[in-house]
Amino acid sequence: MKLYALVTQFFAGNPTKNLKWKRQPRRKSCSNQFWFVLFFSVVMFFLLLCFNHLFFEKTKGFVYFPGKPAGSATYFPGKLRNNSKDSCLGRYIYVHDLPKRFNEDVIKYCQLITRPGDRYSVCKSLENSGLGPRIKGFDGSDSWKNSWFSTNQFMLEVIFRNRMQKYECLTDDFTIASAIFVLYYAGLDLRRHLWGFNTSMRDSPGVDLIAWLASKPEWKRNLGKEHFLISGRIARDFGRKSNQKSDWGSNFRVLPESENITMLTIESGSSENDIAVPYPTYFHPSNDFQVHQWQEFIRKQNRPYLFSFAGARRSKQKGSI
φ, ψ dihedrals at 136, nearest 5°: -115, 170
Q: What is the pLDDT of residue 20?
A: 45
80 near 52, Cβ under 8 Å? Answer: no
* Percent over 90 (pLDDT), the chain: 50
Q: What is the pLDDT of residue 306?
A: 76
Q: Distance between CA atoms of 272 and 180, rounded to whole angstroms? A: 18
Q: What is the pLDDT of residue 13?
A: 43
Q: Distance between CA atoms of 102 and 206, rounded to whole angstroms? A: 9
φ, ψ dihedrals at 72, nearest 5°: -100, 155
Which residues have C-beta within 8 Å of that of residue 40, sequence separation ≥ 6? none
**pLDDT band, very low/low/confident/very high, at 55 (cuts 50, 70, 90):** very low
For 183, the 3-state DSSP assignment is: coil
Tell me the per-residue pLDDT of 83-132, one tens digit each, with 9 for 90 and over.
Answer: 558 899 999 999 999 999 999 999 999 999 988 878 778 999 999 999 99
Tell me the per-residue pLDDT of 57-80, one tens digit each, with 9 for 90 and over.
Answer: 333 333 334 444 433 333 344 444
CA atoms 281, 285, 291, 296: torsion sign: negative
Q: Distance between CA atoms of 274 and 210, rounded to whole angstroms? A: 17
Q: What is the pLDDT of residue 173?
A: 96
- Which alpha helices (DSSP H) does 59-181 contain, by range? 104-108, 122-125, 156-164
Selected residue with higher pLDDT from 46 and 229:
229
Q: Distance between CA atoms of 133 and 216, rounded to whole angstroms? A: 38
Tell me the per-residue pLDDT of 178-194, one tens digit each, with 9 for 90 and over.
Answer: 999 999 999 999 999 99
Q: Which residues pair with 179 in a beta bridge?
A: 93
Tally the residues of the chain.
321
Q: Distance between CA atoms of 155 and 58, rounded to whole angstroms? A: 38
Tell me the per-residue pLDDT of 206-243, one tens digit each, with 9 for 90 and over.
Answer: 999 999 999 999 999 999 999 999 999 999 999 999 98
Is the pTM value of this prediction over 0.85?
no
188 near 103, Cβ under 8 Å? Answer: no
Q: What is the pLDDT of residue 304?
A: 85
**pLDDT band, very low/low/confident/very high, at 14 (cuts 50, 70, 90):** very low
* Percent over 70 (pLDDT), the chain: 70
Which residues have C-beta within 8 Å of that of residue 321, sequence separation ≥ 6? 311, 312, 313, 314
- Which alpha helices (DSSP H) does 165-316 contain, by range? 186-191, 199-214, 217-220, 288-299
**pLDDT band, very low/low/confident/very high, at 42 (cuts 50, 70, 90):** low
Give the count of beta carbons closer than 10 Å to the beta carbon of residue 182. 23
Residue 19 has pLDDT above 90, yes or no: no
